[in-house]
Structures are given as C-alpha cells and as structure tokens.
Amino acid sequence: MTLPLLCILCGFFLLLGYLCSKEFLLAPAVLVSGLWFVCICCYLMVDPTPQTLSSKFCTAMAVWVSCFSLLALAVQSIKIKPFFVDLMPSQPARDIYFYLSLCTLPLLVYDVYLIIQGSTASPFNALRDANVSVEANSKVGRTANFFVVFWLVSYVMELCVWSKKNKWRVVLLAIMNLFYAFISMGKSNFLIFFLATAIVLLYQKRVKMKFFIIGIVLLAGAFVGIQKMRGAYTNYKEFVTLYVASSMKAFDQYVQPNTSEQEGENVFRLYYAVKSKLGHSENFVDPILPFVQVKIDNKKYHTNTYTVLYPFYKDFGLWGVALGAVFLGIVFGVLFMMMGLKSYCALTVYALWSGTLVMQFAGDTFFTILSQNLQYLFFALIPFIITKYHLFEKKVLQ
C-alpha cells in the first residue's frame, strides 16, 4: 500500500459515506475518511518525496479507515428504537445546567488570575502550561477544571432548542466556552466547540454548508494566531507540516507493534490509572507523549503526536487497529442512527464526542482521555432522565 493508493481508498469511502449518510458532511464515516483524505493530500503537498513514508503507515491507516467506515455505515442503516426518542431537555433541566455554569464562571476567572500572577512566563504560555499540567496546585491554579464540561453540555442543549426565548442563553454560553478555549490556549477546545456547533446547526438545517466552510477557514486562522501568541511563529505550510504531516511521519518512524510494557496499557489507560489510584502497583502511561524529531522535505520538526493509530498499533499491532476501528465505528454509527430517529440525546452526545473523530490526525482522544468522554456522556444523559421522569417540575394537584 502506497500513499497515493491510500488517498484513493479514503476518497472512495468519503464518497460512499456521503451518499449513504443522506449527504450529511459530518456523518462519522464521512468525517473519518474525509479527514484522512485531506491529511494525505496535505502530506503529498508538503513532501515532494512521499515514498519516504513507508507502507507500514499506509497499511495500518487503510485498515483503520476501511473498518471504521464499513462498520459505521452498516450500523447506521439499522433501525432500532433509541432511548429518549423525540424528547427535548425540559426547562428545569436546562435551568439547572445554565445557572450551575454561571455560578462556576468566577472560579475559572479566579484561577486565571492566580496562574498569571504566579508565573514568570508570558500570560499565554502560563495559561497553556496550567492547562496541560498534571499537578493540581491550588496556589497556581489550573484551567482544565471539571466544571467546564457543564458549560459545553449546557451550550449544546440550548443550541438544540434554539429560539427567540433562549437566544441570549445560547450567546452567553457560547462566549463562556470560547473564553475557556482562549485562556486554555488549547486548539482542540476551539475545534470541539466549533464541531459541536456545526453538527447541531447543520443537522437541524438551521444553517447552510457555507457556514461550515467559512468556519473551517476562520478556525485555521485562529490556530495560527494562537501559535503566534505562544511565541511559535508559523505560516500555513509550516503549520500543516508540524501538526499533520509530522504525526504521520512520527508514527511511521518510531512506533512498533506489540511493544507496550503492560498488556494494553495505552488503549486501557483508564483501567491502569484507576488501579494505580486504588493503591495497586501498576503504572499508567502519560497521555502527553515524548517528543521525537522527524525530517520532512529536508527540514527537521519536533512532535509528540503519532496519529490515532498509536495506542492500538503499539499495544496489539494491526489486529488492535482493526478492532479499535470496529469498536468506534459501531459507537458512532449507533449514535448517528439514533440521531436519524429523532433522538436529541444522541445528537447531544455525538456533538460532544465529534472532536475525537477529527483529532485523529494528531492522536487518539477517545480512549486516552476516556474519563473526560465518560463525563460528557454522564452529564449529557442527566437532563434527559430529568425530562423523561418529570423531575423538578411543579406538581399540579387534581
């Protein structure tokens, strides 16, 4: 398998997924195959000698895209009555999440103050360091607080029922989520917010496709701007090479199959982390991987991302890649199928998890940060449970 053949394969599944998903551009099979089609095209543009990327990456990626797309398309065609069918989150449920989000806003503002005051670095670098820090030091503060999960869940719920009555809630929650994305200096947070917004609005046909295209262009400009603010000036070509092509090259050059020290330590990182917290001797891997040097178009780059293939290939080889793609294809295929049957709960979860599909060019963010994804799932389900069983509603005596 060569890179041009892989590009053709991704293009085939992109077209197939688009036609089989009611021409919805953000369907799971379309997102994954389209993402890798674009990434491979980018690599072919920035590196005039693509044969430097061996067949190892091409074969593994062909297995990944094929298995994911086929399973997602097969599952989304099945008709199974979903939970919470045709059920919108109730006013009491939305009120709880909205006012809880407002109450926690001062906490993040105070943390930002502590971070900037307690660091000798520039404000932007200090905020970024606090976001990726694994040490919860209250004197320094952290931007990665758990309550921001409520902000995004609340925003997506309000967006699903967007009307004149709640438009100011939508605007305020959007500003809060963008504020968090900015102060965290995390490009992934901007991407997750944008994808969640685009999926809800496009699926409900509230906006046209040009909204998505314009948004992608603005997002790319914002990412380059963030790099400049963090002191790493880059143009668009360097940005694409560093964040797209280098990950593919790093996987091809440094990742070997079945080389994990513990069985499945990357895919099942959460399991080992929980065991370690409970006092067992098992170690768990750091989600922030070591930097390596790669050479693309006779230039050297440093990266610590190895594409979505890394945990599956390193733990279990090609079989791990195939099984991982099958599992995620089923998960997102089920969510997309339920969305088609008017499950607003499935739409909410799909919007919250969609970032894991697009972030595949850098690495796996479904299993690696599974605890956060489970938080999104848990807090997204609660409002629909409240609504289904009429909790917190005023009872009228007969």
Q: How much of the chain exceeds pLDDT 90, in percent?
A: 47
Q: So what's the pLDDT on residue 137?
A: 41
The pLDDT of 142-168, averaged and rounded, is 85
Residue 313 and residue 168: Cα distance in Å, rounded? 46
The pLDDT of 115-127, averaged and rounded, is 69
For residue 44, with 0-12 CB atoms within 10 Å meaning exposed, 13-18 middle and 19 or more buried, which class applies? middle
- What tokens appear for 370 in the block? 């599974």
Q: What angle do helix axes 91-117 and 123-132 make, rounded to 10 degrees? A: 120
Name the pTM for this structure. 0.90
Q: 68 with 32: CB under 8 angstroms?
A: yes
Residue 50 has pLDDT above 60, yes or no: yes
Q: 153 with 377: CB under 8 angstroms?
A: no
CA nearest 269: which of 259, 256, 282, 258? 282
Q: So what's the pLDDT on residue 226?
A: 65
Q: What is the 3-state secondary structure (H, E, C) of 372-393?
A: HHHHHHHHHHHHHHHHHCCCCC
Q: Where are the domains of the chain?
A: 3-388
Question: Which tops the pLDDT comparison, 125 or 22?
Answer: 22
The pLDDT of 112-133, averaged and rounded, is 69
Q: Give the model confidence (pLDDT) of 237-246 as tens digits.
A: 777 788 888 9
Highest mean pLDDT pick, 105-109, 208-212, 322-326: 322-326
Residue 136 has pLDDT above 50, yes or no: no
